[in-house]
Structure 1
Amino acid sequence: MATNDFLPFATAGGANVLPQSEWNALAARLSGYTAGVASSAQVNKGLRQGSVAAAMLGQFIVNRAGLDALDDGSVTNLLAAFEAAYRKQATNYVATVGGTANALTVTLDPAPAAWSDLAGAPLRLRITTTNTSTAVTFSPNGLAAKAVAYNDGSLPQPGDLIGIVEAAYNPTADVVQIVSFSRSASLNTKRSQITAERGSSSQLTGDNIITRVTNYGAITPAFQGGSSFAAGVLTIGPADGGLWFLSGYCRQEFSTASGQAVYLYRNNSIVLASDGGPAAGGAASKVHSNAARVVSLAAGDTVDMRLIQTTGADFTFNDLYSFSAVRIGA
């Protein structure tokens, strides 16, 4: 076991040391002792303050680096040991993460009394069992569990948290934010996104009526911030506000002269983008329309894709149509 040679002086109960209030007011504390006889209590007070600080430094080296703190008169050796202990930052490294895959627990030493003790402090966690859910929590020393999220508010994908993960408590958002992690591949999967395609469905529309597409046969959602998609409407979740790329596409064959267009709507009233054109009619007469836009969306905003046709009668879109959205930034 490592040794600490730097021991505290005059720390026993009732030790002969000057009270702190008298030490604060002592003129010799500033000027130093001059000729004459110094009070033993005054001398002991100065020796205790220096020795306690030295003992604390030596114990830090022993506890956090596992190295000896030797009183061999070498400043170089003591400094090297201190720098080694500081570099390891063992106080913030947790080699054993407990709990479950999605409810992480750790025991920190010294133990935090409240979450405020950890505000902004980086913690490096060695996780051996990866998460299986986007809903992950973290609790140190029995404190109330906090949600784990990325800096942009999105949630970790299953499999993201493995190996050495660095996190810090954000008191403003009241979440444990992931600062760095081991799986670089998740950078490409953790953003909220959705693709909805016609599949085997179809969409009936009236003549010259802008109609929301509600029938999608193949929907692939991957939401991180509480967003949802239902009845053809994307609703932005509480942690998904920011820049989004939106795209609506339609390809349809018409047997008579007609036209079609694709619209992207926000909040059921604002046209974000549109694109369309005429069809001359005939077996090979197909119209392609593609509306796209990058737009800032807030929590609670809704987005949907709509179609219009001018055949002069009801018409069913049954060739190809799709709606895509991906959050690209804060």
Structure 2
Amino acid sequence: MPQTSFALLTNLGRAKEAAAFANSTTVEITHIAIGDGATVPSGGETALYNQLALKTISDHGTVVGASNVAYFDCFLEAAEGPYTIREAGLYDVDGDLIAIAHYDPPISKPTPASGQTVEGTIRLEVAFSNVANITISIDPSMKVALQRLTVLRWIPIISMSLATPPASPVAGDTYVIATSPTGSWSGQAGKIAEYTTAGWAIIAPPNGHGVSLPDGRVFERVSGTYVEKIALDSQSGKWVYAADSGTANAMVVTLDPVPAALTSGMIVRVKKSANANTGATTLNVNGLGAKAVARLDGSDMRPDDLPANMPITAHYDGTINKWVVVNFVGNYAANGPFSEVNLFGGSGTLTVPHATYTKRSFTSATIGAHGDVSLVSGSCKILTAGRYFVTTTAICGSDPATYPVVGQYPSAILKNSSLLSNGSGFAMDTAKVKEVSGSNVFVADFAANDLLDAAIYQGSAGASSASFSTSVAMSIVRVR
């Protein structure tokens, strides 16, 4: 029997499409109606001849090889009907009939009560002058059985730990069947089970398919088994770890997958090569550019800061364009975790004006390999900004008969020529004491190029100045 099925735009549909083209608007298609009217349509219709049901649109697209021919689907569940479908129509958001279809032979849609369980899709294919003028509203709640999909999409599931079908499922409930299943799931372990009005649909998913649980956990099928691949890959560190294949002072790593760019906060974990660094060091990640590797304070690496085979964790700081080593400990073997420096001021007579802080220059120093400070013109110069633990001691000797002294501070500290700390003070008993000492202990943050000096203060009674034989020492340790 010849088939004479077809679809065409109604006169109103053509007029609306032309108006949409002229006004740069669109016609919004929202519903499909089905009916059993046998009259062959001409295009002048404004409604179906005998409408049976009005359905939301479950899917749509364009026909291969015909870019201006659009298709529209509506899904009929097993319980719907019984219908003998001879006509269908497209309705827009205004409730107007835009297109009408005729089916010859008609489509039979029985119900389970007839002894046949049928669910399916009714499709209309309609030619437009320009599909760009058409928008289609899809019902997001429409449940189309997964078995009817050409490609199995990533889907949400209820559980993947059940081996026995639940007692009261509803259509659309979906599970990954657990091991050793029973009942209607028997022998289907690892497959997708979706409940439909016709019963349990069993689907064998391909590798690479993904599902998600209500708690947000995501699983991907690998070698026939669903695994939490994203979580496992993250835990393994494989995305951010690589062994250094460069030289002592020019580290090179290759991450997989390849990062698109260096972004602030990006983390890499690197196993240093068999050669410790000998000075300033760079890191090049996947050819994105050799960037300086920095200590926690942003300063460049120094010799042996990165020992051979050291596991390094670094984050990229886009502000300073450097990789900052967050597990930095420095050259521990030589200096411990931070620099320690000892400075000494030689003995000799020092004239100290009344009520004045007078500097006692350092004459020698023992400086750690990190070089956080240096001895410059008798002062301690901070080279690396940070927090420092500072201890000073001073010994002063004088003739109390000549220089009766009260309120003296022999171990004061100056920062950039301004008083930072007096330390401990004392009062001299002019009848008994000829030699006194003082100490100063504190922790403070210093900037690069700050100058620290040891100083002596005297508050003698009746004398404008006093002379002392003095000896001072300072120990400074960077603690951060």
Q: Residues 233 and 302 of structure 1 are in contact (CA less than 8 Å); yes or no, is this contact kept in structure 2?
A: yes
Taking every aligned residue pair, what percent have the same amino acid on both sides? 25
Displacement of 1:83: 5.2
Structure 1 partner of 2:151: 47
Q: Residues 330 and 338 of structure 2 are in contact (CA less than 8 Å); yes or no, is this contact kept in structure 1?
A: no
Residue from 213, 236, 239 that aligns with 1:88:
236
Q: 1:47 to 1:224 in 2, by over 3 A?
A: farther
Displacement of 1:290: 1.0
Q: Is 2:388 the partner of 1:213?
A: no
Task: Give the alignment of 1:148-163 within 5 angstroms.
Answer: 148-153=293-298, 158-161=303-306, 162-163=309-310
Q: Which amino acid aligns with 2:273?
A: T
3-state secondary structure, aligned to 1:87: helix
Structure 2 partner of 1:230: 376
Displacement of 1:106: 1.6
What are the superposed Cα offsets for residues 160-215 of structure 1, whole Å, 9 maximum, x if unpaired? 434322222122343212233688957x83435432124xx435522436332223
3-state secondary structure, aligned to 2:444: strand
Q: Which amino acid aligns with 2:391?
A: S
Q: Which amino acid aligns with 2:474?
A: F
Displacement of 1:302: 2.7
Q: Residues 130 and 158 of structure 1 are in contact (CA less than 8 Å); yes or no, is this contact kept in structure 2?
A: no
Q: Is 2:443 the partner of 1:294?
A: yes
Task: Tell me whether 134-143 or 272-281 shows the greater mean CA deviation.
Answer: 272-281
Displacement of 1:240: 1.0
Give the whole-Å Cα distance in 2 for the aligned partners of 1:125 and 1:253: 57
Give the whole-Å Cα distance in 2 for the aligned partners of 1:105 and 1:322: 45
Residue from 81, 103, 114 that aligns with 2:261:
114
Task: Give the alignment of 1:97-246 within 5 angstroms.
Answer: 97-116=244-263, 119-133=264-278, 135-153=280-298, 158-161=303-306, 162-180=309-327, 189-198=336-345, 201-208=346-353, 210-221=357-368, 223=370, 227-237=373-383, 240-241=385-386, 243-246=387-390
Q: Is 2:473 the partner of 1:322?
A: yes
Task: Give the alignment of 1:297-308 within 5 angstroms.
Answer: 297-308=446-457
Q: 1:222 to 1:210 in 2, by over 3 A?
A: farther
Give the whole-Å Cα distance in 2 for the aligned partners of 1:184 and 1:296: 22
Higher helix share: 1
Residue from 111, 122, 127 that aligns with 1:36:
122
Q: 1:182 to 1:78 in 2, by over 3 A?
A: farther
Q: 1:279 to 1:111 in 2, by over 3 A?
A: farther
Give the whole-Å Cα distance in 2 for the aligned partners of 1:280 and 1:82: 80
Structure 1, unmatched stretches of 5+, are: 1-16, 59-67
Displacement of 1:231: 1.8
Displacement of 1:56: 6.0
Structure 1 partner of 2:93: none
Higher relative contact order, structure no. (Cα contacts within 8 Å, ≥ 6 residues apart): 1
Q: Between Structure 1 and Structure 2, whose CA radius of gyration is higher?
A: 2
Q: 1:184 to 1:315 in 2, by over 3 A?
A: closer
Displacement of 1:303: 2.1
Q: 1:302 to 1:46 in 2, by over 3 A?
A: farther
Give the whole-Å Cα distance in 2 for the aligned partners of 1:279 and 1:216: 31
3-state secondary structure, aligned to 1:292: strand
Q: Residues 76 and 122 of structure 2 are in contact (CA less than 8 Å); yes or no, is this contact kept in structure 1?
A: no
Q: 1:150 to 1:264 in 2, by over 3 A?
A: same
3-state secondary structure, aligned to 1:249: strand
TM-score normalised by L of structure 1: 0.64
Q: Residues 194 and 223 of structure 1 are in contact (CA less than 8 Å); yes or no, is this contact kept in structure 2?
A: no
Give the whole-Å Cα distance in 1 for the aligned partners of 2:444 and 2:63: 69
> Would you say how many aligned residue pairs link Structure 1 and Structure 2?
281
Higher strand share: 2
